[in-house]
Amino acid sequence: MAKPGPREAFSEVHDLAPDEFLAQVQSFEFWFHSVEGYLAGTNYGHRVDAVEAHLAERDRERLVTVLCNYCVGETAALEGASGLVAIAPNRHAKVFLSTQVVDEGRHLEVLLHRMSDLGVLDPEAEVERRASPSIRAFKSRLLALVASKDWEAALFAQNVILEAMEFTVFQTHAKTADPITAEVLGGIVKDERRHIGFGENELGRRLRESPHRRARIGEVKRDLDALVLETFEETLRDIGLPAAERPDLGRSYLAAVARLGLP
Ligand SMILES: [Fe+2]
Ligand SMILES: [Fe+2]
């Protein structure tokens, strides 16, 4: 049977054996074929002919606030991933992270552009004005871990915690968002899925080789959990998700980190 091409393999990214993952996913070759499948012909992450829906002023305001928080998360991911390139212990990981840096830069760009589309004159200033204290605090903690050159801890905070948080929130938000925002988020989610795959694969292997590192990862998780759950709460309230559905989202984030065998 023919080996699946990068695009087919992409859909199975979580099912690949660790060696196959290294050989296929951690390359620009794989990255290019993956993103081509969902970005070709788009304009800032959405179809060129997508039509802007009418948003009530209150809904527009809430959406802008949520996008400001997403911009802080994506800036954290962009700065975090680029810092991780320098401390990655092998060249395969450096190549993968360089594709991630490109993805995160694109995410930030399309979110800032979405705000401009919504009539925000100075998106940068709006992010400064509106972003929540919890996502700002998470960004500082993540970048401090990267600066401390603690590879496993920083990779865990970036490619498992932050990515799982973004994946879960964006996927949920896309279900109820206006069509253009939903398309933009849908494209981002496809990238975040690949980033989590890398984080789980790399960390899983490191933890199997050196089980003593598990305690340090558990420590980072306990340190960041409260901030992550607070960020969830704020964002879900702003996107108008019914309160009854919020605990499920917290659980799905915890399930993502539990796949690494952490309590
Ligand atoms: Fe991202
Ligand atoms: Fe990401």
Local mean pLDDT, 10-residue blocks, the chain (263 residues): 41 60 75 85 87 91 96 97 96 94 97 97 97 95 97 94 91 92 96 91 89 90 88 84 71 74 68
Q: What is the pTM of this model?
A: 0.89
16: CA distance to ligand 1 center in Å?
22
Question: How many angstroms is it from 214 CA to the middle of ligand 1?
Answer: 26
Q: Which ligand is nearest to the CA of 196?
A: 2
CA 232 / ligand 2 centre spacing (Å) = 17
Instruction: Give the ligand with the smallest distance to the CA of 158.
Output: 2
Ligand having the closest approach to the CA of 170 = 1
Residue 19: the pLDDT is 66
CA of 163 to the centre of ligand 2 (A): 5
The ligand minimizing its distance to the Cα of 108 is 1
Residue 10: per-residue pLDDT: 43
Å from CA of 74 to ligand 1 middle: 5
CA of 101 to the centre of ligand 1 (A): 9
How far, in Å, is the centroid of ligand 2 from the Cα of 158?
A: 8
Which residues have C-beta within 8 Å of that of residue 197, sequence separation ≥ 6?
13, 14, 16, 21, 25
For ligand 1, the distance from its centroid to the CA atom of residue 188, given in whole angstroms, is: 6
Say how many Å lie between the CA of residue 194 and the centre of ligand 2: 8
User: Residue 197 Cα, ligand 2 centroid: separation in angstroms?
Assistant: 10
Distance (angstroms) between ligand 1 centre and the Cα of 103 equals 6
pLDDT reported for residue 4: 42
